[in-house]
Structure 1
Amino acid sequence: MLSSFDPRISRLGLPESAPPPPDKAALDQFPTYEVFHQRKENTAYVYVGPVHAPEADVAFLFGKEQFSRRFPCTGMWVVPTEAIRVTEYGDDQQSVYDRLPLLPADALAAADTAAMEAYDIFHLKKRGKAHAHVGQVQAVSPEAALQAAKAAFGDQRPVVNVWVIRSADLSRSEEADRDMWTTTPDKKYREAIAYKVQDRIDRFKQEG
């Protein structure tokens, strides 16, 4: 049910249980990271797009420059594209959870609670929109996390597509980082009113 969101991984045609071969040739470009941002405090983090970067810290910087310079932003998350597991797509009137095959009850019951970790769940409500964060679940695998997400968030409709991300793979801005998006007084060039073009035109006319 789940597959990699990274097309470079998908094209390899690897079995689900097999990891990428260790001798796979290095990519000829930086890997991609997916960026999510929060426009206002206490609102969901929403997907805004990808960036190419050599590592997560640089991806965070590129994401800030690319997606928050002209839009309100109070927080940002970045994650390697290859860390996102994605379901098939449904239609705008149904939920992909309805087509989710149930794991055997004994398999869920036998899950080692010590091996559980957090997974973040993102829903796409409508094609053409963006995936938004809906919450977090505890599970032993992405597949089990999807089952847990169905139990926790399956009543939300419609759900066209689901992204499952291991929480440890997400790099998140901290509370102390929020002032990085605050426009300081010396950045008035971003505000059209700071140009005061009409004042200059009127002064030019008077001087002429």
Structure 2
Amino acid sequence: MSLKSLDPRVTRLNLPEGEVPPMEEKSELDQFETYEVFHQKKDGAAHTYVGPVHAPNEDVAFLFAKEQYSRRFACVGLWIARTENIQVTPYGNDGEIVYDMLRVEEPAQRSEQPEPYEIFHLKKRGKAHAHAGRVMATSYIEALQEAKQQFGDKGPIVNVWVVKSSDVLQSAEEDKDMWTTVPDKKYREAIAYKVMDKITKYKEAHKNTPA
């Protein structure tokens, strides 16, 4: 018998009754962890932040993110990252470049092998962070320095998020068919239903019908 839940995202997992996905690493927590979700609307577009999900592990977080953020909009890819793995700079004011406000020192000497980091920029308060690019670094500080050199002139930039690429669960190229059930997802968009048009048409067809 499947686990029943008021949350349809849980029900669709078809978990056996009484079975709950284990919490990753922090099993002592009595609540799910928070993951941040980045949505890619079309090929070539930057992954843009759309909101958080709460889940016991990243695989379930990805399923929740797919259910919550890709069902009603065109989507070709999702990225998720545990909130605690994202380093955040202070916020600047609109029109400023936050890199100019930071004192990021050059690393003395690389003692480790560089690895990729993903950089996200917030261009204006009230908007969403969008993927600016990837840098190679041995630490978050070095990643921020590399980002400043590579992307710091693409202002205004009021806030920066930095996360290791290895900490980002990314949908693969071969996973794109999970979003191709109907072209352009129009069946999921409320505007495509034209509910009021159907109601008006129904009323016109039945206005002379005896009650």
Q: What interval of TM-score do these two structures reach, taking the shorter chain for normalisation? A: 0.7 to 0.9
| Residue 205 (structure 1) shift | 4.4
1:192 matched to which residue of 2? 193
How far apart are the structure 1 equivalents of 2:163 and 2:41? 21
Identity rate of aligned residues, in percent? 54
Q: Which amino acid aligns with 2:103?
A: P
Q: Which amino acid aligns with 2:193?
A: A
Q: Which runs of 5+ in 2 are unaligned?
A: 1-25
How far apart are the structure 2 equivalents of 1:25 and 1:43? 37
How far apart are the structure 2 equivalents of 1:176 and 1:25? 32
| Residue 93 (structure 1) shift | 2.0
Instruction: Give the counterpart of 2:155 among 154, 157, 181.
Output: 157
2:177 matched to which residue of 1? 179
Instruction: Give the counterpart of 2:138 among 133, 140, 148.
Output: 140
Write out aligned runs for 1:71-86 (5 A): 71-86=73-88
How far apart are the structure 2 equivalents of 1:62 and 1:157? 33
Distance 1:200 1:167, change over 3 A: same
| Residue 83 (structure 1) shift | 0.5
1:130 matched to which residue of 2? 128
Write out aligned runs for 1:39-50 (5 A): 39-50=41-52
Aligned residue pairs, count = 180
Q: Which runs of 5+ in 1 are unaligned?
A: 1-23
How far apart are the structure 1 equivalents of 2:128 and 2:56? 25
Write out aligned runs for 1:54-73 (5 A): 54-73=56-75
Distance 1:189 1:65, change over 3 A: closer
2:33 matched to which residue of 1? 31
1:17 matched to which residue of 2? none
Instruction: Give the counterpart of 1:100 among 84, 99, 102.
Output: 102
Instruction: Give the counterpart of 1:89 among 78, 91, 94.
Output: 91
| Residue 183 (structure 1) shift | 4.3
Instruction: Give the counterpart of 1:115 among 113, 116, 119.
Output: 113
Distance 1:179 1:92, change over 3 A: same
TM-score using structure 2 length: 0.76
Distance 1:104 1:201, change over 3 A: closer
| Residue 193 (structure 1) shift | 4.5
Distance 1:28 1:138, change over 3 A: same
| Residue 139 (structure 1) shift | 0.3
How far apart are the structure 2 equivalents of 1:203 and 1:41? 44
Q: Which amino acid aligns with 2:41?
A: R
Do the aligned residues in 1 keep the contact of 2:82 with 2:167 (CA within 8 Å)? Answer: yes
How far apart are the structure 1 equivalents of 2:133 and 2:147? 8
How far apart are the structure 2 equivalents of 1:77 and 1:41? 14
Distance 1:133 1:62, change over 3 A: same
Q: Which amino acid aligns with 2:154?
A: Q
Alignment RMSD, CA only?
A: 2.4
